[in-house]
Structures are given as C-alpha cells and as structure tokens.
A and B are shown apart, each in its own frame.
Chain A
Amino acid sequence: MTGPALEAERLTVGYGGRPVLGGVSFAVDPGRTVCVLGPNGGGKTTLFRALVGELEPLEGSVRVTARPAYVAQTERTRLDFPVSALDVALMGALAHGRWWLPPRRADRAAARAALDRVGLAEAAGTPFGELSGGQRQRALLARALVQDSPVLLLDEPMAGVDPASAQQIDAIFAELRGEGRTLLVSSHDVEGARGFDLVLCLNGRQVAFGPPHQALDRAAIEATYGRELIMLDETGAARAVRMSHHEHHEHHEP
C-alpha cells in the first residue's frame, strides 16, 4: 500500500452548515495507531462521522484508503431493537456486498469466530440490549472484525466498560496492531494515549498532532482540556489527571 491510510486536509465539518470542528489536517501511514483526545463536544465523534462518510465536509477533504470498520459509541445503538450478539457480528459481512441475500455459511462462521475472539461465544444468542456495557462494546468490535477492514475507527471503546472487558479490548487492539492494521481510537485517557504511535488532540479545532512525546506537551493538553485537568510536571514530562468524575455518563455529541 502506498500513501497514507487516513488523511484529512484543512477539514471543516459540522451539522446543518454550522461548523463543529475545523482546521483539521493530518495523515496516518498504514499500520500506525492513533489516539484521538478531546473533551466532550470537542469534535471526536464528528471527525469519525466525516471519516466514514456519514457527514460531508463543509470545507477541505478526508480520504481513507479502504472502507473503514467503525465502532460507534454504544449509546448510538438501539437497545430495544431485537438483535442478538451474533446478529450484530453478522452485520459486518454486509460490507462485502450481497446485502439483499441471507448471510452465507462462511459469514456465519466468521461472525462466530469473531465473537469467540472477543470472548462472547457463550453470549451469541443473547439480545444486544441484555448485554452489559462491556459486552456490547465487544459485540460491536466483533462486527468490525467480521468486516475485516485494514482501517478501524473506534469511538471511545473504553467508555462505560468493565475492567475485564477493557483488558480484552486492549488485547485485541494489540493483535490488530500486530496484523498491520491502522487504528484510530478516541479516548479520554491522556496517559493511555502515550501507548499509541500518534496522538491527535481536538477541541473544536486541531490542537496538536504527532508522536505522544511531541503532541502531549503541557500547552497542547491545556488547550485540549482547559480546566478539566490538573497538570503534574514530573521530570519534564507533562502528566495529566482528569478532574471530571463522571466520565462515562457525560453527554455525547449529536
């Protein structure tokens, strides 16, 4: 593959002609992992929606080499809709076309394998709405695995997730990285972002982009989170602690 896997150029996006996020320019080479940081309402979800083509740019452009697999925040799914974890995983096969036909045997096998990989083999028949927050996130991750895209976009996959699920999700990220896939993961975990190849900080605009040691300096973190953070300087490295106590229950962008 030549050229970047993901690219935004002077991107401005918003809703109803009103910009929510502007001045975004970055390029991500294949196989790199990117952590997208920003406060709620800072434009993380909006960026993802532009990258999957759900929102048209108001200005500038986005480019993705392949149709990305997208794991939206579970809040955006309908919990009362009668689908099982296996049904959700099977949805990933729709990316390969043939939407008018029932799933093939190979699709079903891939969906079961993906559920097994995320630790949900036992819960295949459980209605999505009856799964725990972490299990729902893993079911959506299984759908992304079935889609089998070289580029994965994950919107706050650790929000509202129990520690066991978080560990499983982390392990799968490591595997996907090992397979040479490009990962864009939004998060509120500034410390966790240091484990990624690249960090993109958003707060209505692009605040910083680059390797963690460059992008996560004090000025960038303050510009990204403002007073939500306490800074603790330790041997030159900027450390950050979020003050917000309700990380998993905040309002999300439209």
Chain B
Amino acid sequence: MSGIELRATLEVVLAGGFCGALGFWVLGERLAYAGESLSHGLLPGLVLAALAGVPLLLGAAGGALAAAALIALAARDPRVGPDAGTAVAVTGLVGLGTLLALAPESPQRLAELLFGDPLGVSDGDLIAAAVLLAAGGAVLAALRRPLTVTAFDPAGASALGLKPGVVRLTLLALMAAAIAVTVQGLGALLVLAALVAPPVAVRGHVRGPGAAMAAGAAVAAAAGVAGIQLSAQAGTAAGASVALVLCAAAALGAALRR
C-alpha cells in the first residue's frame, strides 16, 4: 500500500468508523433525510472555502450551519410544508454551490467537493478525523443510555428526568460535525453513505444499541479499507468506491436479515 493509499485508508476508517456508530442513532431518530439535506446543503460553504483557500473543514462547518438555518426557516413555512420546503432549500443551495464552483475565475474543484477525494487528505484532515472519532465517540458512549430511552420512549425519558430535546439537539450537533469532517473524504453527495449504510447493514443482526454502534463502526471501517483497495486495484474514483462498498454492505445486511 502506498503512502497516499495508507493516508486515505486512515481517513475513511477514522471518520467512517465514527459515522458508522453514530448512524444507529441517526436512523433511530429518523434523521436520514435531515442528514442528507445537511450534507448536500453545505456545498456553498465548501466551495467558498476552496475559493478562499481556507481549510475545507471550516467551510463545511459554516456551510452546515447556514444550511441548517435556511432549511429550518424554509421547512417552517406552513404554506409550503416541511418536505417541500427542505427540498427547495437544499436544491437551491446545491445550485448556488455549483454556480460558485463553475464561475470562470474559480479553480475546477467541483468534482472533488461533490464526490470527495480521500487520496488528497491533508494532515489537518487526518487530525480532524481522529479528534472526531475520539471526542465524538466519548460523547456517544456517555449518552448511550439517554439516547436509548429517548429513542425508545420519549415520554418515559422526560419522566425519568432526562431532557429528550437536549439529547436530540446533541445528536444533531454530532451529525453535523460528522458530516463536516467526513465530507473531505466522501464529498457532499456521498458522505451520507457512511452515516446510513452501516446501521442498515447491521440492523436485525445485533441485540442492543451498544452492539449496533460497535458493529456499525466495524462495517464502516471495513468498507473504507475495501473501498480504497478497490479504487487502487480497479483505478476507480476513491470516494465513490468507498460509498459503493458501504451501500453493498447495507444491501447484503438487509438481504440476510431474518
């Protein structure tokens, strides 16, 4: 394995591993559509960061915040409805990002922002992925019991003295952080595969949230390794290869479910 491949593998294993664990709760709280919206809607932030030459992580984080605010605003309009409002806001943001990226004076980096470029990760990206896994993993471990009660029985969670609203908000923040970091490797269009495919792959094969998180992380990491290898052997795009292996794992897991 070359140095570049090794770094790419490290990136998708670290960031993907966290996404794979977090994904169990994303599906548990039915946030897959919210995650997709957020990951696509942050594109203008990524493009602006690329144009300005600042770290993409900053652009992704700023783009995610702006997208979340715009989606919340659009989804709240009762004349439009939450589904349509979100769809219009996200499509508008993707259009804006594309427009900025394809402007004559901007560098041609749209493809790697949309589809990711794990082979081009910087030291900063690797550090961000390691911090995400360590800090995010610690938060998930600490929140395991409140998250379980909140997803299983929100009414019971309030009665037990927990705050389901705060628990869900923390989950949303973790999801935004995971997307902002992982988008470096998988791009705005493919990053959701790391969040949603692993929990789909393990659902019905594990007992309990702890096991589901561990198995999801393992599936994501294995798919990351396999995807980078596939890309190196077959000469395919690295980000797309990882995303396809993730989705194949989800399809296999679903097919094998009893």
Residues of chain A within 8 A (CB-CB) of B207 are: 82, 84, 127
| B133-159 residues at the A interface, CB under 8 angstroms | 142-143, 145-146, 148-149, 151-156, 158-159
Is there a chain B Cβ closer than 8 Å to A118's Cβ?
no
Choose one: B143, B155, B160; the contact of A95 (CB below 8 Å). B160
Q: How far is the CB of B91 from chain A (nearest CB, A)?
A: 29
Q: How far is the CB of A65 from chain B (nearest CB, A)?
A: 15
Total CB contacts across the A-B interface at under 8 A: 80
Bound form: Cα–Cα A67–B157 in Å? 12
**Are the CB atoms of B161 and A82 closer together than 8 Å?**
no
Number of chain A residues close to chain B: CB under 8 A: 33
Residues 158-215 (chain B) with a chain A CB within 8 angstroms = 158-162, 206-209, 212
Query: If A82-B212, A83-B209, A99-B146 touch, does A94 touch B151 (CB 8 Å cutoff)?
Result: no
The 8 Å CB contact of A76, one of B28, B142, B149, B153, is B153
**Chain B nearest CB: distance from A94 CB in Å?**
5
Q: When chains A and B are docked, how far (Å) is the Cα of A88 from the Cα of B151?
A: 12
C-alpha gap A140/B152 in the complex (Å): 12
Once the chains are docked, how many angstroms separate the CA of A82 from the CA of B28?
Answer: 10
Q: Are A67 and B208 in contact (CB under 8 A)?
A: no
Q: Quick one: closest B residue to A49, CB to CB?
A: B155
A19 at the interface (CB under 8 A from B): no
By DSSP majority rule, is chain B's interface helix, strand, loop, or mixed? helix
Q: Kindly state whether residue A209 has any CB partner on chain B within 8 Å.
A: no
Number of interface residues of B (CB under 8 A): 23
Most buried by A among B149, B159, B206: B159
Residue of A52, A72, A94 touching B145 (CB-CB under 8 A): A94
1/0 contact string of A50-66 vs chain B (CB within 8 Å): 00111000000000000
Q: Contact partner of B208 among A69, A82, A147, CB < 8 A?
A: A82
B residues bordering A, Cβ < 8 Å? 28, 142-143, 145-146, 148-149, 151-156, 158-162, 206-209, 212
User: Can you list 27 pairs linking A and B with CB atoms under 8 Å apart?
Assistant: A52-B159, A54-B155, A54-B158, A67-B160, A70-B155, A70-B156, A72-B159, A77-B156, A78-B152, A81-B28, A82-B208, A82-B209, A91-B148, A91-B153, A91-B156, A91-B160, A92-B160, A94-B149, A94-B161, A94-B162, A95-B160, A97-B161, A99-B146, A99-B162, A100-B145, A103-B145, A147-B160
